[in-house]
Amino acid sequence: MDGTQTLKTGTTTVALVTKEGVVMGADMRATMGNLISHKETQKLFRIAPHMGFTIAGLVGDAQVLARWLEAEVELYETKRGSQMSIKAASTLLANIMNQRKFAPFYVQLIVGGVDLEGSHVYSLDSAGGNIPDKFVTTGSGSVFVYGVLEDHYRDDLSQDEGLDLAIRGITAAMKRDSASGDGMNVCSITREKGFVLLTKDEVEKRKKKMGLK
């Protein structure tokens, strides 16, 4: 996550599908080149009670898109009286991004959540590419997270196991990627409880239980 006007993806975000819902998370460090510019940067957003959003890349572009998506989802639900599906939200965002071909949004995004059709995670690139997957990670720390996910992810993961896996992946990235760090935000999204952000104490307790530092 970079505060300059150049393309940087110094961050770590992750999202994965579980049996009960979706887990999403991100570190909290923002960088400007070799400088750590912010240590409590929000990269995980609640878009709606059933939907979350992670950002990596240029801060201004990412924040604009987060506000844009939140407004469009709220407008849709006000007009129709029903929740926008995760697929529809990701497609809408992809279309917005694809319209700006000559000055693209310098971001990598993840839209995830639970709707009437199940649990979903979509990865979006700066040109508006929109790909569904069972798990995805973005940013400079993603190579380390993918190593953890490829080794530990299963289709039958519980929500609790998914939270631990996301925390384990982000922790691995923060140990090896200098652009990722300063703690993490992690959320659980389920049909029963909706979007629930873990507290810092809850994250630390899970890390301690897994023997992570």
User: Mean of the pLDDT values across residues 48-72?
Assistant: 93
> How many CA atoms does the CB half-sphere of 88 hold within 13 Å?
14
- For 168, the domain range is 13-206
pLDDT 10s digits, 105-134: 889 999 999 999 999 999 999 888 999 999
Catalytic annotation, residues: 11
CATH number of the domain at 61, please: 3.60.20.10
Tell me whether residue 7 is in a domain.
no
The model carries a pTM of 0.92
Tell me whether residue 213 is in a domain.
no
> How many CA atoms does the CB half-sphere of 39 hold within 13 Å?
2
DSSP β-bridge partners for residue 135: 16
Number of domains in the chain: 1
Tell me whether residue 6 is in a domain.
no
